[in-house]
Amino acid sequence: MSDEKIDRMIRSSSVDDISSSVDLDSAYGPSGFRGLLKSSNILFYSLFASLGGFLFGYDQGVISGVLVMHDFEARFPRVGGNGDLQGWVVSIMQLGAFVGALINSPLADRLSRRYSIAVACVAFLIGSVLQAAAVDNSMLFIGRFIGGIGLGQISMGVPLWIGEVAPPNLRGSAVTLQQFAIASGIMISFWLDYGTQYIGGIGEGQSQAAWRLPFALRVVPALTLLTGCFFVLPFSPRWLVKVGREHEALTVLSRLRKMPENHPIVQAEIMQIKAGARFDALTIKEKFPNAKTPAQIAYQQYKELVTQKHLSRRLFVACFMQFLQQFTGVNAIIYYAPKMFKSIGLSGNSVSLLATGVVGIINVVATIPAIGIVDNFGRRVVLMVGALFMSLSHFIIATLYAIYEHSWADHLSAGWAAAAFVWFFVFNFAYSVGCIAWIYPTEIFPLGVRAQAMGIAISVNWISNFVIGLITPIMLSHFKFGTFYFFFAFTMILFCWVLMFLPETKGVPMEEMDRLWGGNEGKETADRMDRIQQELRCESRNVPIYSKTGSYSDDLDIELQD
């Protein structure tokens, strides 16, 4: 967008002009890696907040190694090894996370996005300490449940925060950093377990530090993130506007964009945010005049989410994407890779290493290109390519499995081919739905219901994760190769659904998402928007104009110098 156009935008008497004339390429700068490097503060803040994603991945990954450690098995016979409670010690964390994602919505609205992450870190820390110090099953279970609550909150709060501070051209890449952190957490916890199991030896003499240490080390990133919530991460400017702290919002936004407060781009963006927030607040006020307390308002917002067609469509999309992300079978592979690799005939000491270790490395490495492509090529194409290759992988694995089920030992190369397609699957998951499932819910909802909607969507992720953990071992033993055809079906559904129904959100400012979902049409809403525009127009009369020479003028009508 030319400077002249930006100037016109901010001086314009119509807020509509502001929202409709944003040409992001030149206004905000490039997307992808180049954009992130240029906006070093967005890169820094997103990476810092992504410590939450690291905790998420680490927590998911750490338990599998711990469960098979000798000292752990000896102390918790019902949980370690083949104990009857093993499945539950894994899944109780996911149930906690399901609850955590839901309860974070009111916290993120009342306390702020950043402080809700701080509360999450406290829950996570309590859970980690209980697990690291566990002396009996109940301590272990309670620790995993409380830690899970923190994790669920983090998995909702961090992408919500990142999505709200990033400019539209970097939103996808910035949220992708959290997926990169999740994958790194999974990988690092695996190698850490692998290393610490040697403390005292892997047999009889194994020290309890072998498993207590990986549990305990989580407190380091959790404490760092907790401290950062107070001293590093700023408030989300959108949340500040939502709670009426508009001046602060402007200051934060100008810091985030590294531009003066009265720079046209900052002014245009704050106008957009204000217009969106006031519109949401006014809608609730006019539609539900009796809703006075925060609880009553929240109730109406949840109700709107399911009764308003354009909102329920978005809610469905966000939830279905979370569901499909899990039903691609990624966690079936992450949790049960060693078992799968064994069942396709690859045995020996290096199996576990190859299975989990290589899967983990590919998962991290393949997330990196996503940072560069989601805001350039768009969400749809990346999702479709990923879904297509994931389904191809499942199909080939299932077919090889069906053919060689009883003769893997004589067809070692078929086993390796199947393994290669497991890796290929993970590769394609990592850059596509692995990342994009987190981006979508952060960006498609209006501010008024964003936290509520995200809570619901992310809780669907966790409950689906829980179901996958439960059904995969049963499917692997009963349906064998059918398990992969099952996941093949879901990856194909993902492909077709994206192809036919999913709108592209790349580069669309959050406040303009209504365009894609057919929301807020009709006379009543147009009138409401008109009133807000009037209000903002009056306020913007006092906005001093920024000129390229560096001088500022209070007079909106003066010509800008070139």
Residues in contact with ligand BGC by CB under 6 A are 60, 179, 182-183, 186, 325, 330-331, 334, 363, 434, 461, 465
For 91-130, b where at least 16 C-beta lie within 10 A, e where not — what string?
A: bbbbbbbbbbbbbbbbbbbeebbbbbbbbbbebbbbbbbb
545 bridge partner residues? 553
User: Token pair of 337, please?
Assistant: 């890779």
Q: How far is the CB of 516 from ligand BGC (least distance, A)?
A: 23
CB of 118 to ligand BGC, least distance (A): 22
Q: What is the DSSP letter of 83?
A: -
Q: How far apart are CA 369 and CA 228, in angstroms?
A: 28
Contact 124, 154 (CB under 8 A): yes
Nearest distance from residue 438's CB to ligand BGC, in Å?
A: 6
Least gap, CB of 386 to ligand BGC (angstroms)? 12
Task: State how far the alpha carbon of 505 is from the alpha carbons of 212, 316, 452, 512, in Å.
Answer: 44, 16, 20, 10
Q: 59: closest CA among 10, 20, 97, 27?
A: 97
Identity of the residue, 298 or 370, whose beta carbon is nearer to ligand BGC in the bound complex: 370
Residue 98 CB, shortest distance to ligand BGC, in Å, is 12
Among residues 35 and 434, whose Cβ is nearest to ligand BGC? 434
Q: What gap in Å lies between CA 462 and CA 470, rounded to an integer?
A: 12
In terms of Cβ atoms closer than 10 Å to its own Cβ (0-12, 13-18, 19+), residue 146 is: buried
**Please, what is the angle between helix 433-443 and helix 171-196, to 10°?**
130
Q: Helix or strand or coil: residue 398?
A: helix
Q: Nearer to ligand BGC by C-beta: 183 or 210?
A: 183
| C-beta closer to ligand BGC: residue 235 or 335 | 335
Task: Report, in angstroms and rounded to the nearest whole number, the Rg of the chain calculated over CA atoms.
Answer: 25
From the CB of 407, what's the least distance to ligand BGC, in Å? Answer: 32
- Report the nearest approach of ligand BGC to the CB of residue 67 (Å): 17
Residue (239 or 427) nearer to ligand BGC, CB? 427
Question: To the nearest whole angstrom, how small is the minimum distance from the Cβ of residue 246 to ligand BGC?
Answer: 35
Q: Which is nearer to ligand BGC, 167 or 360 (CB)?
A: 360
In 217-308, alpha helices (H)? 219-231, 237-242, 246-257, 264-287, 294-307
Q: Which one, 362 or 510, has the nearer CB to ligand BGC? A: 362
Q: Which is nearer to ligand BGC, 153 or 179 (CB)?
A: 179
Nearer to ligand BGC, 408 or 431 (CB): 431
Separation in Å, CA 124 to CA 72, 151, 220, 399, 444: 21, 6, 11, 42, 28
Minimal distance in Å, beta carbon 50 to ligand BGC? 12
